[in-house]
Structure 1
Amino acid sequence: MDWPHGKDLRRGRYSEPGRLYLLTSITLDRAPHFTDLRLARLLINQMRIVEAERIARSLAWVVMPDHFHWLVELGDSDLKTLMSRVKSRSTRSINGYQHRSGRLWQHGFHDRALRREENVREVARYIVMNPVRAGLVARVRDYPHWDAIWL
Structure 2
Amino acid sequence: MPNLPASHKLRTGRYAEPNRIYLLTTITLDRAPIFADFALGRLVVHQFRRAQDIGLANSLAWVVMPDHFHWLIELENCSLRKLMRQTKSLITREVNLSSRRSGPLWQQGYHDRALRREEDLVTLARYVVANPLRAGLVEKLGNYPLWDAIWV
TM-score above 0.5, yes or no: yes
- After TM superposition, list the pairs within 5 Å mapping 1:2-151 onto structure 2: 3-9=3-9, 10-151=11-152
Q: Superposition RMSD on alpha carbons, in Å? A: 1.0
Identity %: 56
Amino acid at match of 1:139: K
Amino acid at match of 1:39: L
Amino acid at match of 2:39: R
Distance (whole Å) between structure 2 residues aligned to residue 29 and residue 100 of structure 1? 15
Residue 54 of structure 1 aligns to a residue in which SS? coil
Q: CA deviation at 1:101?
A: 1.1
Distance (whole Å) between structure 1 residues aligned to residue 42 and residue 143 of structure 2? 16
Distance (whole Å) between structure 2 residues aligned to residue 82 and residue 124 of structure 1? 20
Q: CA deviation at 1:6?
A: 2.1
Distance (whole Å) between structure 2 residues aligned to residue 135 and residue 99 of structure 1? 29
| TM-score, normalised via structure 1 length | 0.96
Q: CA deviation at 1:3?
A: 3.7
Q: CA deviation at 1:43?
A: 1.1
Amino acid at match of 2:20: R
Amino acid at match of 2:76: G
Which shifted more, 5-14 or 23-32?
5-14
Q: CA deviation at 1:8?
A: 2.9
Residue 125 of structure 1 aligns to a residue in which SS? helix
Partner deviation per Cα, 1:6-46 (whole Å, 9 max, x = no partner): 24311231010000000000000000000101100011101
Distance (whole Å) between structure 2 residues aligned to residue 8 and residue 28 of structure 1? 16
Distance (whole Å) between structure 2 residues aligned to residue 125 and residue 13 of structure 1? 26
Amino acid at match of 1:6: A
Q: Structure 1 stretches of 5 or more lacking a match? A: none
Residue 90 of structure 1 aligns to a residue in which SS? helix
Which shifted more, 97-106 or 54-63?
97-106
Partner deviation per Cα, 1:86-144 (whole Å, 9 max, x = no partner): 10000000001112210000000000000001000000000000000000001111100
